[in-house]
Amino acid sequence: MEQNFIIAVLVSNISGVLSRVSGMFTRRSFNIDSLTVGETESSGFSRITITFHGDERIKEQIVKQLEKLHDVKEVQVLGGNDTVTRELVLIKVRNTAESRQDIMTAVEIFRSKIVDYSPAALTCELTGETHKINAFIELVKPYGIIEMCRTGIVALERGENSLQTKK
C-alpha cells in the first residue's frame, strides 16, 4: 500500500553530496516529491529532507541505499505525531478591485502575509503544514494565480530527540 514518507538525511557539507543523493533516487527510478537542503547548526553538515511516496519495501530500500553513501552520516524516517513539518509558499495572485478584499480576507484567515503589492498583483507568503498550503492555493485559485513557488517540506522530530552524527 502506497503512502507518503519523510526522510531526514544528515550529510557532510561538501560539494557533490546533493548530486549523489538525488542521483541515487534517479538510478533506482524512485521519484522525489520534495527535497529541501540547508546547512545545520554545525557548518560541517547539511540536512536534506526528502519526501516521496511508495510502500514499506521502497522506503526500506531507499534508507539502505542512502546509508551506503559515503558522505551520508545519518538517515531517519520521520512521521506521524512525532514530527513537526512546515512548508513555505510564495504565491502571486491577480489583484483587481473586485477581488482584493476577498484575497485580503483569505490572507488574514490563513495568517499569511502580503510581501509585495502592485495594482495588478499581490504576492502572499504562507508557512504551514502542506494541507494548509494546499487549502490556501485552492481558495485563491479562482482569483488567478500568476506565479507560485513552494519550498518543499522541512521537518524536525518533536521533543529533545535530534538527528546527530553517530559515524
Mean pLDDT calculated for residue range 41-54: 93
Nearest to 79 by CA among 22, 15, 144, 3: 3
Task: Tell me if 33 sits within 8 A of 4, measured CB to CB.
Answer: yes
Q: 166: pLDDT confidence band, cut at 50, 70 and 90?
A: low
* Of the candidate ranges 74-88, 109-123, 129-143, the one whose mean pLDDT is the lowest: 74-88
Please write the tens of the pLDDT for every residue from 50-69: 999 999 999 999 999 999 99
Say if CB 153 and CB 8 are below 8 A apart: no
Give the largest CA-CA distance in the chain.
59
Reported as a single tens digit per residue, the pLDDT across 77-118 is: 998 788 999 999 999 999 999 999 999 999 999 999 999 999
| Out of 6-10, 146-150, 156-160, least confident range | 156-160
Residue 167 is predicted with a pLDDT of 47
Closest to 112 (Cα-Cα) out of 99, 130, 127, 95 = 127
Tell whether the torsion through CA atoms of 68, 69, 73 and 76 is positive or negative: negative
Contacts of 150 (CB under 8 A, 6+ apart): 34, 87, 88, 89, 133
Q: What is the predicted pLDDT for the residue at 165? A: 61
pTM for the complete prediction?
Answer: 0.86
